[in-house]
Amino acid sequence: MACFKPPSLSRYKDMIKKWKTMGLSFLIAGCLAMGCQATETQTEKSLVATADEMAKPEEVIDENMVPIYGDSINDGTYSVEVASSSSMFRIVECELTVKEGKMTAVMTMSGDGYLRLFMGTGEKAVEASEEDYIYYEEDSEGRQTYEVPVEALDMGIDCAAWSKKKEKWYDRTLVFRASSLPEEALKEEAFTTAKDLNLEDGTYQIEVKLEGGSGKTTVESPAVAQVKDGEMTAKIIFSSPYYDYVIIGDTKYEPVNTEGNSAFEIPVTALDWKIAVIADTVAMSTPHEIAYTLYFDSETIEKVEE
């Protein structure tokens, strides 16, 4: 019967050395893998600008905004205003195209500091694939333009911009302003009219809110409104006597008073909608046109007994 012969001491040493080497190799491989993963994560984070690396963002989202989707807008191409949360990402022109409820916009930039955009956050941009990026094209004047999808107007939309100089993604928020659309662009269901409310002829009062400019100017609310044959007009009185005309659409309206705060009789073609108004003030050294919006709240309308 054969007897078990234990390995020699030198062989034991060789085996232990081999096991140590294998264990060390596994340990090193594991550390390298973890290190690579950590380095990759750190690199991804470094590709997105931090708040300290950006100017303080401007507030462009109004909590009272109601998103306007493409199915509420007639097909066509319209010039619209775009608010950006960063003064370093300024859109000087924008054309909105609506087709079968889908919206896209061609934004013309004020400069050429960015190479590509991603419609989302910078963190998502780092993870995205190349085909998800939007690259600029030059217009006839050599300006950078980007064609982007627009989910809705009057809604904050995330947009990351890749800085040519800093080589990082910078987070921006864009708002495509519905109030800058011409009234004929909107389908009737997008707003309320006096006819929709079946208002009889007579005098009414209705809450109205002015927005825009420096935010210091207001209008008297409620305003007095007149309804005749389903059409509404309202008397708007500014908190200043220094407005000499207002423009709505292509029509200019002169003051209806000569003393006190500036007052104007204007048509109210849309309730529950921000009506774009240009008001010219002479309070400064030279006359200056200021963009405002007027919002008439249909839920506050009340008949005035005569």
Predicted pLDDT at 246? 97
Strand, helix or coil for residue 35: helix
Q: Which of 208, 198, 107 is nearest to 161 (CA)?
A: 107
| Most confident option among 45-54, 117-126, 247-256, 297-306 | 117-126
Q: Which of 24-33, 98-107, 149-158, 204-213 has the lowest mean pLDDT?
A: 24-33
Q: How far apart are CA 303 and CA 306, in angstroms?
A: 9
| Dihedral, 243, 249, 254, 259 alpha carbons, nearest 10 | -40
At 182, give phi and psi (nearest 5°). -70, 150
CB 96 within 8 A of CB 176: yes
* Per-residue pLDDT at 202 exceeds 90: yes
CB 251 within 8 A of CB 233: no
Predicted pLDDT at 215? 85
Instruction: Give the mean pLDDT of 75-100.
Output: 96
At 72, give phi and psi (nearest 5°). -100, 5
Tokens 């303080």, residue?
56
Tokens of 97: 């195209």
Predicted pLDDT at 39? 44
Percent of the chain with pLDDT strictly greater than 90: 68
Q: How far apart are CA 218 and CA 212, in angstroms?
A: 10
- The pTM is what? 0.69
Q: Strands 76-79, 274-281: parallel, antiparallel or unpaired by DSSP?
A: unpaired
**Residue of 1 and 74 predicted with greater confidence:** 74
Tokens of 228: 């005749």
CB 153 within 8 A of CB 178: yes
At 80, give phi and psi (nearest 5°). -130, 160
Predicted pLDDT at 62? 82
Quote the strand ranges of the chain, DSSP E. 76-79, 82-84, 91-99, 102-109, 114-118, 134-135, 137-138, 144-149, 157-163, 169-176, 202-206, 208-212, 223-228, 231-237, 243-248, 251-253, 263-267, 274-281, 288-296, 302-303
Q: How confident is the model at residue 46 (pLDDT cuts 50, 70, 90)?
A: confident
